[in-house]
Amino acid sequence: MELTQILLDTQSTDSKKRIESEKKIELARENDHPLLLGLLAAELNEESNPLQSRQLAGLILKNTLVSKDEEKKKELANLWLNFNEKLRNEIKELLVLTLGSQQKIARNTSAQVIGAIAGVEFPCGVWSTVFEDLMQVLKIQKNNDNTREGVFTCLGYVCNELENYSFEISNLSEILLTIVDGMSEEETNLQIKYTATNALFNSLRFAHQIFENANDAKFLLDTLVSTSNVPDEKICQKVMECFVRIADLYYFSIGNQIDQIYTLTVEAMKSEYSTIAIHAIDFWGTICEKESKILEDIVLFGQLGEKSKIESKNYIKISSKELIPLLCELLVDTEEFDEFETGSWKVSDASTVCISLFAKHLGDPIFELIFDFLNKHLDSEDSDSKEAAITCFGAILEGISTECVLNYIQQIIPLILEHLKDKSIKVRNSSAYVIGRIFQFHLESLFIYISEGNENENENENENEKILLFDPVIEVLLDCFDDEPYPASTVVWAIQSLAIGGKAFQDKETTPISKHFIEIVRSLLKSTERADGDKHQLRYLSYEALILILHLAPMDCLEILFEVVEPIISRLEETMEYTNLTIQDRLRQAQIQGKLCGVLHSLTHRLDTEIINYVDRMMQCFLLLIKKTQTSVYEEVVMAIDSVVRVSGENFKTYLEDVHLFLSEGLNSVNEPRFCRLTITAISNIANYVKNSLPQEYFKNYIEILINNLSTKDLDPDLKIHMLSAFADFALCLPQFFENYLDTVGSILKKITFIKFDSNDELTNLVYLTKVRKTSLEVYTGIIQGLNFQNKGTLFLRFIEQVIFLLEQIAKDPKSELFEELIKKAVELIVDILSILSKQVKRFFNTQPIYHLINHCLESDDQKLKKIGGWAYKLLN
């Protein structure tokens, strides 16, 4: 067949010709797939062919190997590996030859295909010599710039494909140093220098051998520094990206060059090219994150009574006096506001994030370092400088103590409220941002009484004549809901932050929010209806804020919530009527439907059984959604259904048949951990509230899905814990059904006792081990209590030995004592078992480790823990 012409015809403007050519390629694939692949590789390699057909051949070849869907990707990999080895080698030889093509697009396309093949073959040990093969091509063609560029590009793709695999690569140091050689000062071809730098970036994860050798590390870092002097934006940007990755991967190996890197990055931060400046800023942000994590580990190890094996180099503390003033200056964004570019990442954005990281790391001392900048610009005539100062203050608020900034916040609030009405849209936006940050992290600073003139009152003034500073802040903020979508979306975000910062108010009879609550809710509802609500996600954010603020409703505002129920249900019902929508409109519709479900979830949570008259209408909407809409809504739907279960109790049995398949699908969604976790919670609550009205066949289906999923390889660790916890609810609430699975669940619990960790992070492993042990104890507790309800407690005897083994593991681990809840669960289980099976099991519990757990409770200052220990001791003696 005339492959060249067929490939060209796939891009024809003539739809008939295009469809016909696509059919021919598909037919060739069905008739002789290996032959087609060989012809495609030959097409890509042939220099005389049109560039377009060569590129298309390579892309089709690549697409036979890769897919975004993991299952499809495995299927394609197996298909490729089952092809004749001779054919595969011939294809690879043609592709390697194409790396020296005269056409750059052909070289790059071939490099991508080789990367895809290596991603399939190298992990299986099939093409284990891919790096050596490419190095050999470099040696043979060392004077051919096209080949050198092609090989460096290819190395970048290969390393990128293999990044998520863990294995050693032989001769890696030699390979990396060869790449670095392509970046040397002697290399005059800028394209080769760029592709070599990019290859280095992609291979850095494998460079630990280099960084373990001080001389090799110095050579690599020195080369990067010298390469940064090349007058080429793309190369300099890639150098900065390399430094960011090195900071993350090899923090402890850059000390000898840190002064040099400091000078380089500070200059790069001032670069006229924003891409270079942003990555230079990111370097210091990454260093800051590393040092914050080290300090966290040091604290945690200290709590464990141990010394951390690593120490911070304190680069941030040492350099902060010079870096922070520079970062403040970089906050000044002189570009005019353009609502179509608000999603673009700027130097000022990177600086904001970096200052925020510094604040979380340094704490209160950072306030002194930015104070002059704030005083100079906070009320500046220049709106860009004013915006920068406001943003700067907002950026530090997460890491700094309220005590440190209390007076300053109270002092500048009147000015910030003025700035909410500023003529500059950027100033208005940043002012809303800083109020949101104050709400989230320093809300209590606004709970002082002031006069109407905003001057602090003397203590002897009549309190009834004063108002809280919080009151005018909310009032001015509510006035800003009608602003343009960009600042209005930040105003809405500030209300979200109020809900987050005010969590302590939840379930209180009345709060400072009470007097403003109805206006906040009405303003948010109005905001969801704005004609321009799709701009800057204003409508979406308004619903999100509504969800959060409803959760915060004080008891004296619950009646107001009924004002919201009817319109929200009606809106959700209306969305079901829209048909013949475009793909974009369907996605937008699904997003809004999800948020409406979220609002109903919040309302149900707060109103509890008072909302019962609306339950059927809500459930009819939810049932339509799970049948007709996008899966992106499922998380919100299952949460809403879960809240209905809680208020409906046993009456939820009416809907069990309708939701059964949906819940089964959710349990099977192990690749969507959050959806799966929410589904498990809903089913656990169904077991708890519906109890015996749950059909046994449904229970059988749910528990067998969980049992099967627990054997899934690479299951999300936290999801595994959640699945185990469901057994506790099943055993306690539905013991008559659970009885059939005692041995299976017992086997799972026994196996998980011998858990092995892939991670080398001791602290992460300890926390996870504690979760596993605690959940296992809860399952055993559910089983013994459930069996006892049926007067079948003796069936628990089969678990005694493995329970004792788990309890003694906990007792013998000195770190267990750091987790009071774990000890409490252990001794509570001991009490349950001894209370129900005393004479039959008492001898198993008369051991030193068991008494160690009990004595820990007896010696505790916690009276509840002491009481539990007393019960256990009495039952044993």
Note the pLDDT tens digit of each residue in 643-674.
Answer: 999 999 999 999 999 999 999 999 999 989 99
Over range 595-608, report the average pLDDT. 96
Burial label, 705 (beta-carbon count in 10 A; 0-12, 13-18, 19+): buried
Mean pLDDT, residues 503-511 taken together: 86
Smallest CA-to-CA distance from 449 within 431, 427, 466, 474 is with: 466
Rounded mean pLDDT of 430-456?
87
Give tens-digit pLDDT for 209-240.
889 889 999 999 999 999 999 999 999 999 99
The residue-averaged pLDDT of 371-388 equals 96
CA dihedral 507, 510, 512, 515 (to 10 degrees): 120
pLDDT greater than 60 at residue 453: no
Strands 449-450 and 467-468: antiparallel
Taking residues 131-148, what's their average pLDDT? 92
Res. 590: pLDDT tops 70: yes
* Amino acid occupying residue 493: W
Report how far apart, in Å, the C-alpha atoms of 463 and of each of 285, 445, 457, 472 are. 46, 18, 9, 16
The confidence score (pLDDT) of residue 759 equals 65
If you average pLDDT over residues 585-592, what whole number do you get? 88
pLDDT of residue 722: 96
- pLDDT tens readout for residues 242-280: 999 999 999 999 999 999 999 999 999 999 999 999 999
Distance, CA of 21 to CA of 560 (rounded, Å): 64
Mean pLDDT of the chain: 92
In order of their start, the domains of the chain are 215-302 (1.25.10.10), 709-877 (1.25.10.10)
Burial of 288 (C-beta count, 10 Å sphere; 0-12/13-18/19+): buried
Average pLDDT for residues 781-806, to the nearest whole number?
Answer: 96
Residue of higher predicted confidence among 69 and 795: 795
Would you say residue 486 has pLDDT above 80? Answer: yes
Distance between start and end Cα atoms, the chain: 90
The CA distances from residue 774 to 806, 829, 850, in Å, are 10, 11, 16
366: tokens are: 């950072």
Q: How far is CA 95 from CA 51, 91, 113, 148, in A?
A: 15, 6, 8, 14
**pLDDT (tens digit, 9 = 90+) per residue, 355-367?**
999 999 999 999 9
Q: Which two tokens stand for residue 585?
A: 């409109």
Burial class (CB in 10 A: 0-12, 13-18, 19+), 400: buried
Which is more confidently placed, 310 or 539?
539
pLDDT of residue 136: 92
Cα 802 to Cα 556: distance, rounded to the nearest angstrom: 51
Kindly tell me if the per-residue pLDDT of 459 is higher than 60.
Answer: no
Give the pLDDT confidence of 613-624 residue by residue, as tens digits: 999 999 999 999
Q: Does 458 score more than 60 pLDDT?
A: no
Instruction: Please count the other Cβ atoms lying within 10 Å of the Cβ belonging to residue 184.
Output: 12
- Tens-digit pLDDT profile for residues 746-778: 999 999 888 877 666 777 888 889 999 999 999
CB-CB contact of 709 with 715 (8 Å)? yes
Per-residue pLDDT band for 340 (boundaries 50, 70, 90) equals low
Which residue has tokens 């051949």?
57
**Bridge partners for 656 per DSSP:** none
Q: What is the mean pLDDT of residues 57-67?
A: 93
Please answer whether residues 781 and 832 qualify as being in contact, where contact means their C-beta atoms are separated by less than 8 angstroms.
yes
pLDDT in tens, 705-736: 999 999 888 889 999 999 999 999 999 999 99
Question: What is the distance of C-alpha 684 from the center of its chain?
Answer: 25
List own/partner pairs for 656-662 with CB under 8 A and 24 or more apart.
656/686, 656/690, 656/693, 656/694, 656/695, 656/698, 658/619, 658/623, 659/623, 659/626, 660/698, 660/701, 662/626, 662/634, 662/637, 662/638
Query: Which long-range contacts does 23-27 make (Cβ < 8 Å, 24+ apart)?
Result: 25/60
pLDDT reported for residue 457: 46
Per the CB < 8 A criterion, the answer to whether 151 and 144 are in contact is no
CB-CB neighbours of 165 under 10 Å: 12
* Look-up of token digits 């060249």: 4
**Beta bridge partners of residue 449, listed in sequence order:** 468
- Judged against a pLDDT cut of 50, whether residue 241 lies above it is answered with yes
User: For residue 69, is pLDDT > 90?
Assistant: no
Number of C-beta neighbours around residue 820 at 10 A: 14
Span 859-875, average pLDDT: 93
Q: Which of 88-97, 163-172, 191-200, 541-550 has the lowest mean pLDDT?
A: 163-172
* pLDDT tens-digit readout, 807-851: 999 999 988 877 889 999 999 999 999 999 988 999 999 999 999
Distances (CA, A) of 4 to 57, 90, 101, 611: 9, 20, 18, 67
d(CA 484, CA 425): 8
Number of helices (H), then strands (E), in the chain: 40, 2
The tens digit of pLDDT for each residue in 176-205 reads 888 998 999 899 999 999 999 999 999 998
